Chains A and B, each alone.
Chain A
Amino acid sequence: MAIEVTIPNLGESISEVTLIEWLKAPGDYVERDEPICVLETDKANVELPSPAAGIIQPLRKSEETLSIGDVIAQLNEGTPTQPAAEVNTSASNTTLAQDPGPAKEAEPSTTTSSEISSTPTADLSEPQLSPAVRRLLDEHNVDPAAIKGSGKDGRPTKGDVIEFVEAQRTAAAQFPSISTPSKLSADQPEPPTSNTGGHGLRRVAMTRIRQRIAERLVTAQQTAAMLSTFNEVDLSAIIELRRRHKERFAEVHAVTLGFMSFFCRATVLALREFADLNASIDGTDIVYHDFVHLGIAVSTERGLLVPVLRHADTLSMAEIETEIKRLATGARDNKLTLDDLSGGTFTITNGGVFGSLLSTPILNPPQSGILGMHTIKDRPIAVDGEVVVRPMMYVALSYDHRLIDGQTSVTFLLRLKELLEDPARLMLEI
């Protein structure tokens, strides 16, 4: 029986996507949740995971523009070693109703001529799993095919599933792609196993997501001409402002007045002046944005996430703090949506919370700039010929030199410093 793969609902306001490329060839065996193609939305590129395991038959070509609900592929029953008999793909598939939402199963009568059913040992369909096992698989979102069963006839036991889930947890941190929330699945060729090799080494396979992130970061560095420039900021004025007003702020706005709202406001004002830093290179075009969608880097136990503060340039201080709080909580609880994680035009990262004094942040492609905040440390500096101790923070701006020249980057950072050292300027927007 064949399963249709359709374009799912990708978020509000996304109605059309472009199929950028197929990640799988016709006849390839795919696991459930394995990415099968890349779709481009007007917000970001999204990898589409397969709704089930099976043999994939792509039905649309790359570069095609598609709508939500369009059928783009067919999944046929099969195993990695024994594919089902060739199925008539020219089919009636395209005549089936375009339902929005996840793929539904096709009517068997319209598609198959002859089918070889998959071998019993490989096919661990639901009825063969015991109740406790089914429940655990469901609870932890695990693909039964990923478990090596120790029960009768190789069935997975409850203990097998428990062990698998624990192994996943202690394996290399799961890194969600910008497109989909992470799932505990047979996403990697094999569950990461510890192989000491007897020399005090431990070899753990990279998860697919980690591999992709690694690829992207390397590509980013190889594509962009990335440099970093630094400056330092005296935060005494902001600290004083916070001291004076933070209680009342909390009363009125029901959220704490942190440093982030100041950093964000300063950033959006500076970006208004230096629009290049809020732009991105797309092929041979430069795309300028009239809005600032500010990525805020958040550290979670699964790794670094960059939720996006949308239209940050229109938000008040309180709104910034509230939204950041929502995004940070969502990131830690793994509840962020695709909209939350995509579409950033510039990113702020704060290594200061971990005590970083100075660093060179790495660009978040396709953005052209990233601002790094660091730890605030009392330091002696010279002011009007006198040595004074001030709470100082280094700021770093990494930027894409293909688009941003040195003058822009340095002046941006300087403007940022001015805005932060004299917060009245934030209010007056000067």
Chain B
Amino acid sequence: MGQANYDLLVIGAGPAGYKAASHASSLGMKVACVERSKLGGTCLNVGCIPSKALLESSERYREAFGTLDSHGIKLGSVELDLGTMMDRKEQIVHTMEGGIRALFKNRMVDHISGSARLAGEGSVVIASAEGETLLRASNILIATGSTPIQLPALPFDGHRIISSTEALSLEHVPQRMAVIGGGAIGLELGSVWNRLGAEVLVIEFLDHLLPDMDLEMSDQLQRLLRRQGLSFRLGTRATGAEITDEGVHLQLSDEEEESVETCDIVLVAVGRRAVTETLGLEGIGVTLDGKGRVNVDDRFRTNIDGIYAIGDVTAGPMLAHKAEEEGVAAVECMAGRPGHVNYAAIPSVVYTFPELAAVGLAEEEARRQELDYRVGKYPFRANARAHCMGEIDGLVKILAEVRNDRLLGVHILGTQASHLIAEAVSVIEFGGSAEDIARTIHAHPTLSEVIKEAAWTLVP
């Protein structure tokens, strides 16, 4: 290999890629980050950030119609200006993208626009409008992320059959929206449009929502979402769609019968798959697993020397914080330091309202592993602050091992759950017990006390 241009070449500037590039640079490596689309990847542009912005805006809109009244705040007529809402979202995305640009500049990471293809030992070919360039790097990090899965029976047309990307930028509030997929993305986006006035029907193949979450908690959330106006068809598959001028006639099939639902727009949110097609992996011999994800060991190495992979393109939960953590750890490994991700302490969040957040094991998993565990629960309803906020739905559920009180899992359904879960993640990281939480002081009056009280039920 000739003179290397870089110590590290990162393919993909999503959370995995840009974090890794930035960290590598701070460790003294010469780094380039190749991105064929926008900085920030899925998360920033068509994922986490825009969805949270819309969730926030749409929740405020909902409040204006209902709950403000109970606070003694009388509004005249409330109008929705979707364009402004979308502009606000775009502005936030733009600001954050600028942040990444600045980060690269400060950390002296070369940002290269183009599409990357592996070209042999330590070499990458970058194709852009200007043509092709060959770059050499001692280490190559694949962080190309994921893309929405398309259902063969319902191919995306960007108009009537859409993915999450389009669902974040609709120009009008649909009258009726079908969401295929009862996972986090489907529920979040379904919530957004439901709040803005659409009739939303969620269709899920399994007999419950959110397959990776604790069943009791996801059932509770479903109940609350139903109260908000969402409809559900569980144990149901979408088998096809007929698109007409009036809308989409969605063919559904469950145990008992076939049926048709008519709606304006169908959001297909059945999951995401790893993006590897244009990398030229087969030519280099990088192996993939059965689901098309890049195979890596516990030090993020692929089977080819010098080539690493992190984030959604590898196995594991497709979460930005998992990807970021892997980015940092992989770079540490490259630098010969210990780099480790604690997969047992990754929080997952559903940003509906109320939020559902969890870390550790669901009860079903604890049972599957035949662990001897106890359950401690406490409702938000019993918390004074929740009443002040007018948000009393939800509960905290804690699983602790009987033998040693070790925290196995914490599940929070309630307002601010995504922030509240951090305490539980910390305790699990430290190998703590339910009693540790119970005997730690939590400020009063705050929602965090619900967690403390749930832990107290486990202290004899």
List residues of A whose CB falls within 8 A of some B CB. Answer: 130-133, 135, 150-152, 155, 157-160, 162-163
Whether, in the assembled complex, B433 has its beta carbon less than 8 Å from a beta carbon of chain A, the answer is yes
Interchain CB contact under 8 A, B440 and A131: yes
Contact A151 B431 (CB under 8 A): yes
Chain A CB within 8 A of B369 CB? no
Q: Which residues of A contact B439 (CB under 8 A)?
A: 131-132, 135
Q: Which residue of B lies closest to A163 (CB)?
A: B404
Q: Are A158 and B433 in contact (CB under 8 A)?
A: yes
Contacts A131-B436, A131-B439, A132-B436: A159 and B406 contacting too (C-beta < 8 A)? yes
Report if B368 contacts A (CB, 8 A): no
Q: How far is the CB of B203 from chain A (nearest CB, A)?
A: 43
Given A131-B435, A151-B431, does the pair A158, B440 have CB atoms closer than 8 Å? Answer: no
Q: For the complex, is B90 an interface residue (Cβ under 8 Å from A)?
A: no
Contact present for B404 and A132 (CB under 8 Å):
no
B378 → chain A closest CB, angstroms: 18
Which residues on B sit within 8 Å (CB–CB) of A158? 404-406, 432-433, 435-436
Q: Check B430 against A159 for contact (C-beta < 8 Å).
A: no
Q: Is B429 on the interface with A (CB-CB < 8 A)?
A: yes
B403 at the interface (CB under 8 A from A): yes
A163 to B404 Cα, complex, angstroms: 8
Point out the residues of chain B lying under 8 angstroms from A131, CB to CB: 435-436, 438-440
Name B residues whose Cβ lies closer than 8 Å to a Cβ of A: 401, 403-406, 429-433, 435-436, 438-440
Given contacts A131-B440, A151-B430, A152-B429, A157 and B435 within 8 Å (CB-CB): no
Minimum CB–CB distance for A55 against chain B, Å: 31
- Roughly how many angstroms separate A159 CA and B430 CA in the complex, as a whole number? 12
Sampled A-B contacts (14; CB under 8 Å): A130-B436, A131-B438, A131-B439, A132-B433, A132-B435, A135-B439, A152-B430, A155-B430, A155-B431, A157-B406, A157-B432, A158-B433, A159-B404, A162-B403
Residues of chain A with a CB closer than 8 A to B433's CB: 130, 132, 157-159
Of all chain A residues, the one with the shortest Cβ separation from B404 is A159
A residues near B430, Cβ cutoff 8 Å: 130, 151-152, 155
Cβ 8 A contact of A157, one of B404, B438, B440: B404
Nearest Cβ on chain B to A112's Cβ, whole angstroms: 33
Contacts of A159 in B (CB 8 A): 401, 403-406, 433
Are B431 and A150 in contact, with the CB atoms below 8 A?
yes
CA distance A152 to B429 in the complex (A): 7
Contacts of B432 in A (CB 8 A): 130, 132, 151, 157-158
How many angstroms between the C-alpha atoms of A130 and B429 in the bound complex? 13
Chain B residue nearest to A131 in the complex (CB): B439
For the complex of A and B, the 10 pairs showing the least CB-CB separation, nearest first, are A159-B404, A131-B439, A151-B431, A132-B435, A158-B433, A130-B436, A157-B431, A132-B436, A152-B430, A132-B433
**Which of chain A's residues has its CB closest to B433's CB?**
A158
In the assembled complex, which residues on chain B have CB atoms less than 8 Å from the CB atom of A163?
404
A-chain residues with CB within 8 Å of residue B406 when the two chains form the complex: 157-159
Best-surrounded residue of A130, A150, A152, A160 (most CB of chain B within 10 A): A130
Residues of the B chain whose Cβ atoms lie less than 8 Å from the Cβ of A151? 430-432
**Nearest-CB distance from A408 to chain B (Å)?**
59
Q: Cβ of B404 and Cβ of A162 under 8 Å apart?
A: yes
Bound Cα distance from A158 to B436, whole angstroms: 8
| Contact residues in A for B435 (Cβ distance below 8 Å) | 131-132, 135, 158
* List of B residues within 8 angstroms of A160 by Cβ: 404
Complex-state Cα separation, A158 to B435, whole angstroms: 8
Closest beta carbon of chain A to B252's beta carbon, Å: 49
CB distance from A145 to the nearest CB of B (A): 19
12 extra A-B contacts, CB within 8 A, seeds A131-B436, A151-B430:
A130-B430, A130-B433, A131-B439, A132-B438, A132-B439, A152-B431, A157-B433, A158-B404, A158-B435, A159-B401, A162-B404, A163-B404
Residue of B nearest to A129 (CB): B436
Bound together, the chains give a CA A158 to CA B402 distance in angstroms of 12
Select from chain A the residue with minimum beta-carbon distance to B440: A131
Minimum Cβ distance to chain A for residue B218 (Å): 30
User: Bound state CA distance, A32 and B403, in angstroms?
Assistant: 29
Report the bound CA distance from A132 to B456 in whole Å: 12
Chain A nearest CB: distance from B73 CB in Å?
A: 42
Residue of B nearest to A158 (CB): B433
Residue of A nearest to B459 (CB): A132
Nearest neighbor of A132 in chain B, beta-carbon distance: B435
Q: How far is the CA of A131 from the CA of B452 in the complex (A)?
A: 13
A132 proximity list for chain B (CB < 8 A): 405, 432-433, 435-436, 438-439
- CA A157 to CA B403, docked complex, whole Å: 12
| Nearest CB of chain B from residue A168's CB, rounded to whole Å | 16
CB A150 to nearest CB in B, in angstroms, measures 7
Tell me how far the C-beta of A197 lies from the nearest C-beta in chain B, rounded to whole angstroms: 27
CB nearest to A136 among chain B residues: B435
